[in-house]
Structure 1
């Protein structure tokens, strides 16, 4: 497994997976009457249980923010370096600086570095030498370029060994890398997490095909965890099974992907009603073309409601819902992209949000402003939106949408915060799907 441009959430997922592996190995050791990997291999020479090496470059960045993620990672890392070795799991930490990090000071830092006997320090300051090698060991501050101190005894000064840093000659390394890659061809291709890569619904085609016909399911992007599986939410005929997406124009791709995944996973009778509030907007043109083409290729029934007819359409749908028998008729999805532009949204819209899902009529809506969203759904309307997604919007909007004044989440490129209130303990960060123009 390889993580490139990885987020702290992904790092946390890696630690959780390693602890799962550790617990499984220790269970097997106990059943086999041994206590370590070495003893297990000696008792069962034909058994295959490889050693695992976790390499973390710039590991101090995992504690860059004083929040629950940094706290949990610090706790798991401190426990891991103490417990993992017996099960054949090892940790290599690399960093340009570790001094001044609050998460690594006090008992947490002692618990971590007190379990790391092998320490290597390049030329740096006295303070960094103390932080890396140990208190009163300032040997790294007196080095020259391309020299290093290697210490195999927890930083004990008498165990310092000065060495020269080998030159990384690409003429030597390139053929070695090729040979190692070819030698590993018989093994499964490793999972690679690319935190900077834009994602499309096609990346999760296998998952989507596996869900085809299982019932309306929206894919909302890749979870920040090992395996990178998508976050999938079912839109059953239950109160609140609507989707609210708040954010900038980057939400176009996320909106289209949610609709297309619903179209693929729904029965052929499903119907889509598009509230056309973005007609003539170039940012919506390519996405609209992709959406129409995709729905047509699946043979789905699509009706486009022009802006001038939207109020009347909303009123009629509301009346139909009040008269209908719950559970009758095909599933219908009302798609509202750019709902901020509907200045005369009738109050009947609130009835659709409230009564629609249990009658098979769901809303997938996109707004840029939280105030508009709140006004259109009415007082007490938020419980009728189980699924909430925030993209590239301000922190206060995120807190309001997720109904959590203490939520600490920083909006950033190629990330979204998603939460299905009915099935998840809390919001999670995902890599959203990008728009067609990306």
Structure 2
């Protein structure tokens, strides 16, 4: 037992000895490592001090020299000498390369001496900006000292933060003035706009620029309204970002490069502080502006504004008169700032720049200035963009696309709304061909604003882009409804094509289906509030359709332009803001109400012949004031129209619907397109539709294929029957049809005679029947078979009822035979086209057999409540209108529809 314990003790002692030995080794290694680290740290500290002081000056410093000569530090001097020699060998040509770099990156006024450019007018159109802008020079202690140019980035690239030392405000002003004058002198007038704000000065900011403050090139802002200025900056940035990103570009710079157009001037915001902290919300707004400004073509120059900006910022600390330290050169190099520009020369140069800008802006612009040098070269795949006016000589564009799909235009009578529409249409049509743009134009007010855009008696040309022109439709609200139905159908067609090609936008569809015809459609509805003027089914359906088109049209290239004198009273949209929310493009004429946002009163102060163009749903920051040239006076727009017509005249002729003039049958495409048919169609009247179509009754063998014209209006009744007979005759060969024209009202004699003569001249058999012979005719036709089709046209059937009712005992009366003819005639090729002067008299004629034998009817001056029994019992909403009829054919229509009776050529428009 004792021996076992002894062995255990020996093992413990041995393990402890080994542990002490390992600990000793570790402590020794740690001491050695610490000594090495302390030695290396001493070397690094000495190296840092020598580098900061400079090797030559360090040798002359007794303390540093003593440390450098110790054996432990010998390697430091050797290493630094090697690095210096290598650096000098590499950097010997550095200053020259820097000078070349600045010369290349800062061409012209951006880097040249002032004597070469100060007082001269820039010619650069502003498609791109120099990368650097000279502020001074610096020297590197190499070979006796070599200098190089110092420049900073600015436009599109960086903000600039300047801080000053005490008593250096003059130097700071000279630096800012020199930079701004270089920028303004590089580009053509108007390419750069400068905003000056000084917390301590009301008007004395950079006084040598005073001449420019009278133009748009330089604006001095109220020192007490920094929040308003920053809001304007933020709104501008949002607007630029909106349309650049919508067009697929990350920045305004990228968009300029892609399109080859400047699009927007650069903006430089110079904010002078006093070194004290601003309010927290002001600092927040400055940072917010700075974060998105560069992509929007805006740079900030902050002077003594203590804040750290997000994004690219270059810092310049003015340390003394004409001396500064910059982040471009680092803290160890002093920059000698360029001398101040001669005050008198700056003042004179500013005056010349101001004069050049005023001269460039010129006097009042004309409609011709809106037009491009080459017509029809633009693509509408992404958007429609066209200038509509000018502000200080620069064009103001209207953009219609995915971001701003629909427009709302408002202005009281005489404010220039019609002139604006002409300026917009002309500018668009000059830039886009009819394959890129299709127009549907509707004017509800009593006028002919758009009538000249379709071929007429005075002008043979038409606007090739127009597919539909509707004027004087204030009483034909159904025509507006028809346009909305058409747009909905077209939207459905485009959506189906987009789904087939697995795309979501028009631009993508055009890429995937280049052979398809997919122009952007713009529907202009002037005085659109008339469409919603009644609380009826038309208003309800129009509201629903308009909301659908407004919501879904943006992605399929279908755009609405809704114009009105006053939109305040449109009850149809109360509580339904869907349409107005989609109208992100707002154009307000002088004194317009409820078009812009409620707090935006820009239209109140707008002068005559101007318009406020706003792509931001009417919010104030989106305002652009445009002087709109005269586009509507005699000969201005027609000259452009003729030129476009000569270029694109082979395109289809637009459909003209004039609510104030009745159509002529011979001029209707529905009539001219008729050809020979075994089932002729009797045309009743023109449809109120986008297409030039007509309602007609097919005279087939089906029961009820007869037509009744109802009402006391003789002229319209005669016109309806005249159109029906002429259209049937056009579809039948001579000998295939017999007409019996029963003139039962004396006043119809001239019209009946004229129609009979025309039918006879066309080779058709036409017999004129009187009241006395009508009974014999219907008796004969009711009992005879005929190989030819027979048409009985009866003018004023109710006038002959006493005669038709007479009968001999045991025989059927003429009325009985007429009823048999109505019931059984169509199956034997016999049809009745008759005029009854009231619904009651038609029912007297039909007797107790019901109304099934009259399958189609056209009502004139008959109230809707009298027609329910003739319309399958449905409620008929109809109030008689001049020169209009309500038509129903139970085989083709689910509800009665309004038609326009064709005017007989013998009748005058009066």
- Give the shorter-chain TM-score range: 0.7 to 0.9
Q: Residue 42 of structure 1: CA displacement?
A: 5.0
Q: Residue 95 of structure 1: CA displacement?
A: 0.6
Unaligned stretches of 5+ in structure 1? Answer: none
Aligned to 1:264: 730
1:12 aligns with 2:481: yes
Separation (CA, whole Å) in 2 of partners of 1:22 and 1:380: 46
Separation (CA, whole Å) in 2 of partners of 1:43 and 1:306: 67
Report the number of matched residues. 423
Separation (CA, whole Å) in 1 of partners of 2:873 and 2:672: 32
Q: Residue 45 of structure 1: CA displacement?
A: 6.6
Answer with 396-405 or 364-373: which moved more: 396-405
User: Kindly tell me: are residues 406 and 210 of structure 1, through their superposed partners in 2, closer, same or farther at Cα, counting changes over 3 Å?
Assistant: closer
Aligned to 1:305: 769
Answer with 199-208 or 378-387: which moved more: 199-208
Separation (CA, whole Å) in 1 of partners of 2:851 and 2:582: 49
Query: After the TM superposition, which segments of 4 or more aligned residues of structure 1 sit over 6 Å from their partners?
Result: 44-47
Aligned to 2:618: 155
Answer with 98-107 or 350-359: which moved more: 350-359
Separation (CA, whole Å) in 2 of partners of 1:57 and 1:300: 47
Separation (CA, whole Å) in 2 of partners of 1:132 and 1:223: 34
SS across alignment from 2:852: helix
- 1:23-422 equivalences under 5 Å are 23-41=492-510, 49-107=518-576, 110-124=577-591, 129=593, 131-168=594-631, 170=634, 172-204=636-668, 207=671, 210-247=674-711, 248-250=713-715, 251-266=717-732, 268-279=735-746, 281=747, 284-318=748-782, 320=783, 329-344=787-802, 345-346=804-805, 347-348=815-816, 349-399=818-868, 401-402=870-871, 406-422=875-891
Separation (CA, whole Å) in 2 of partners of 1:10 and 1:379: 38
Superposed CA offset, 1:141-176 (max 9, x none) = 454544443322112234344444444354644432
Q: Residue 399 of structure 1: CA displacement?
A: 4.8
Contact 2:795 2:834 in 1 (8 A): yes
Superposed CA offset, 1:92-131 (max 9, x none) = 1111011121112112xx100111111112234xxx62x3
Contact 2:743 2:752 in 1 (8 A): no
Contact 2:860 2:880 in 1 (8 A): yes
Superposed CA offset, 1:333-363 (max 9, x none) = 2221012321413241323322222233221
Q: Residue 381 of structure 1: CA displacement?
A: 3.2
Q: Residue 242 of structure 1: CA displacement?
A: 1.1
Q: Residue 67 of structure 1: CA displacement?
A: 1.9
Contact 1:393 1:411 in 2 (8 A): yes
Contact 1:208 1:264 in 2 (8 A): no
User: Kindly tell me: are residues 226 and 300 of structure 1, through their superposed partners in 2, closer, same or farther at Cα, counting changes over 3 Å?
Assistant: same
Q: Residue 213 of structure 1: CA displacement?
A: 3.1
- What is the root-mean-square deviation of aligned Cα atoms in Å? 2.7
Contact 1:354 1:381 in 2 (8 A): no
Contact 2:756 2:767 in 1 (8 A): no
Superposed CA offset, 1:15-69 (max 9, x none) = 2222232233233333334321223445667765322211111111111122222
Contact 1:333 1:363 in 2 (8 A): yes
Q: Residue 13 of structure 1: CA displacement?
A: 2.1
Separation (CA, whole Å) in 2 of partners of 1:340 and 1:220: 21
Bigger radius of gyration among the two? 2
Separation (CA, whole Å) in 1 of partners of 2:770 and 2:521: 59
Aligned to 2:151: none
Separation (CA, whole Å) in 1 of partners of 2:494 and 2:534: 32
Contact 2:472 2:658 in 1 (8 A): yes
Contact 1:242 1:363 in 2 (8 A): yes
Unaligned stretches of 5+ in structure 2? Answer: 1-466, 806-814
User: Kindly tell me: are residues 47 and 368 of structure 1, through their superposed partners in 2, closer, same or farther at Cα, counting changes over 3 Å?
Assistant: closer
SS across alignment from 1:93: strand
User: Kindly tell me: are residues 315 and 48 of structure 1, through their superposed partners in 2, closer, same or farther at Cα, counting changes over 3 Å?
Assistant: closer
SS across alignment from 2:500: helix
SS across alignment from 1:383: coil
Separation (CA, whole Å) in 2 of partners of 1:205 and 1:159: 47
User: Kindly tell me: are residues 31 and 239 of structure 1, through their superposed partners in 2, closer, same or farther at Cα, counting changes over 3 Å?
Assistant: closer
Contact 1:213 1:264 in 2 (8 A): no
User: Kindly tell me: are residues 139 and 123 of structure 1, through their superposed partners in 2, closer, same or farther at Cα, counting changes over 3 Å?
Assistant: same
Q: Residue 236 of structure 1: CA displacement?
A: 1.2
Contact 1:275 1:335 in 2 (8 A): yes
User: Kindly tell me: are residues 157 and 353 of structure 1, through their superposed partners in 2, closer, same or farther at Cα, counting changes over 3 Å?
Assistant: same
SS across alignment from 2:714: coil
Superposed CA offset, 1:184-212 (max 9, x none) = 22322222223333222212367455332
1:429 aligns with 2:894: no
Separation (CA, whole Å) in 2 of partners of 1:371 and 1:186: 52
TM-score by length of 1: 0.87
Contact 1:350 1:381 in 2 (8 A): no
Answer with 398-407 or 95-104: which moved more: 398-407
Contact 1:148 1:163 in 2 (8 A): yes
SS across alignment from 1:350: helix
Contact 2:888 2:896 in 1 (8 A): yes
User: Kindly tell me: are residues 100 and 305 of structure 1, through their superposed partners in 2, closer, same or farther at Cα, counting changes over 3 Å?
Assistant: same
SS across alignment from 2:657: strand
User: Kindly tell me: are residues 162 and 306 of structure 1, through their superposed partners in 2, closer, same or farther at Cα, counting changes over 3 Å?
Assistant: closer
User: Kindly tell me: are residues 367 and 44 of structure 1, through their superposed partners in 2, closer, same or farther at Cα, counting changes over 3 Å?
Assistant: closer
Q: Residue 249 of structure 1: CA displacement?
A: 1.0
User: Kindly tell me: are residues 365 and 94 of structure 1, through their superposed partners in 2, closer, same or farther at Cα, counting changes over 3 Å?
Assistant: same
Contact 2:615 2:622 in 1 (8 A): yes
Separation (CA, whole Å) in 2 of partners of 1:208 and 1:41: 35
SS across alignment from 1:384: coil
User: Kindly tell me: are residues 396 and 76 of structure 1, through their superposed partners in 2, closer, same or farther at Cα, counting changes over 3 Å?
Assistant: closer
